[in-house]
């Protein structure tokens, strides 16, 4: 008997394979990408190495039987993040944008889009956030007005990953005047739909992200995901799956920063001895390693609960909160150990420093995660 949490052997193998593929094959493709645009060559490589298809069922062009495993998603994201955060992000965004179609789309919608997404031939996007609806995701203003047997969408989405270049969007719009989440419906919108526009945005990290504008974009009844008025449920089901794996992304980046700090502290000398021999440095390294391990256990515990069918709202929020806050601190500490060289543009830690900041905001800010945790504690 043991109370030690350990990844199953197949998950350990997948973690190592994702890390090695990212290091050997994906990093060069990521470096060659155009800042602010989806890297389609990188998506194709993720598919060729059977990493992206593992998120989708074989019946829809993927390579797994049944639904995606939250634990496997976490393993993939951590492994890729340790060597190539851009590859991790490309994989995760495909899953985030397409999962509502897998879970709630008609057979025809899923057959149309999911094989293309799973094989990296189509870029997917999850279009929930608006200029006035970020943390309060139920306060959506994008209108979907009845038009014949379908709807016309008018309004704007903002800070949407892969926008405005995506080939398919999972879009959440208001179909009634009912307040809050009860009047929201989810739709599939093709990227080449008449009336659909948008502009790229420049953030701290050079991701593909932008606005999506809807100027009377027409969608038919076959484009509805789930049922009319239940779009918020579709969105939350997707976020429940992906929220723990944001923590895995953070764990992977934190581990990469620790690996770099350990190597540098052994190589660099000051005042006649290695940096690791200074107590201030050695204690920092110990704290970094402890925080990473604690975050990893929270992430894998939440994912395992999800896969076993348990309620994961509190545990997912804890995992996302702790792991992303941890990664910010660990990467900052690794930069401090390296000194000015880690601030040079293009240094691995400089890239991680820019990458990690957004994880404390998207898919629920740290403050929102704390609200969720407290609410669940009082249930």
Q: For residue 219, give the H/E element and its range.
A: strand 209-219
Per DSSP, the residues of 281-309 read HHHHHHHHHHHHHHHHHHHHHHHHHHHTT
CA angle 264, 293, 332 (to 5 degrees): 45
- The set of residues, in sequence order, having a beta carbon less than 8 Å from that of 141 and lying 6+ positions away, is 130, 132, 133, 155, 174
Examine the residue annotation and report whether 363 is marked as an active-site residue of this protein: yes
112 close to 189: Cβ distance less than 8 angstroms: no
| Strand-pair category, 269-270 with 224-225 | unpaired
Burial class (CB in 10 A: 0-12, 13-18, 19+), 308: exposed
**Residue 353 CB neighbour total at 10 angstroms:** 21
Burial class (CB in 10 A: 0-12, 13-18, 19+), 268: middle
Q: For residue 341, give the H/E element and its range.
A: none
242 close to 73: Cβ distance less than 8 angstroms: yes
Q: Single out the catalytic residue among 88, 130, 355, 363.
A: 363
Nearest to 60 by CA among 114, 103, 121, 119: 114
Nearest to 5 by CA among 74, 76, 81: 74
Q: How many helices (H) and strands (E) are present in the chain, helices listed first?
A: 11, 10
292 close to 326: Cβ distance less than 8 angstroms: yes
Residues serving a catalytic function are 363
């Amino acid at each position: 008997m043991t109370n030690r949490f350990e990844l199953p052997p197949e998950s350990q193998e997948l973690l190592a394979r994702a890390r090695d593929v990212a290091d050997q094959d994906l990093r060069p493709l990521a470096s060659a990408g155009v800042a602010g645009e989806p890297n389609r060559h990188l998506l194709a490589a993720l598919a060729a190495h059977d990493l992206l298809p593992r998120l989708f069922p074989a019946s829809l062009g993927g390579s797994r039987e049944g639904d995606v495993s939250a634990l496997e998603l976490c393993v993939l994201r951590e492994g890729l993040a340790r060597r190539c955060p851009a590859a991790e992000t490309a994989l995760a965004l495909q899953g985030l944008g397409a999962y509502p179609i897998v879970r709630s789309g008609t057979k025809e919608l899923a057959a149309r889009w999911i094989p293309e997404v799973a094989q990296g031939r189509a870029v997917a996007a999850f279009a929930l956030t608006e200029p006035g609806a970020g943390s309060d995701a139920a306060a959506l203003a994008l209108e979907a007005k009845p038009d014949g047997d379908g709807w016309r969408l008018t309004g704007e989405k903002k800070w949407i990953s892969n926008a405005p270049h995506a080939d398919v969007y999972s879009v959440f719009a208001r179909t009634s005047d009912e307040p809050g989440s009860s009047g929201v419906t989810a739709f599939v919108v093709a990227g080449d739909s008449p009336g659909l526009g948008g502009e790229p945005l420049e953030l701290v990290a050079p991701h593909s992200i932008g606005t999506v504008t809807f100027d009377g974009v027409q969608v038919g009844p076959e484009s509805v995901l789930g049922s009319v008025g239940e779009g918020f449920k579709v969105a939350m089901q997707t976020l429940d799956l992906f929220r723990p794996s944001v923590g895995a992304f953070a764990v992977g980046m934190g581990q990469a920063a620790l690996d770099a700090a350990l190597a540098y502290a052994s190589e660099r000398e000051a005042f006649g001895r290695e940096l690791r021999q200074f107590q201030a440095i050695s204690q920092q390294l110990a704290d970094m390693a402890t925080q990473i391990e604690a975050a990893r256990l929270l992430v894998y515990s939440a994912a395992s609960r999800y896969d076993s069918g348990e309620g994961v709202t509190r545990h997912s929020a804890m995992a996302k909160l702790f792991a992303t806050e941890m990664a910010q601190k660990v990467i900052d500490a690794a930069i401090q150990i390296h000194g000015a060289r880690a601030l040079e543009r293009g240094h691995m830690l400089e890239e991680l420093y820019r990458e990690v900041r957004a994880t404390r905001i998207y898919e629920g800010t740290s403050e929102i995660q704390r609200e969720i945790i407290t609410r669940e504690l009082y249930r």
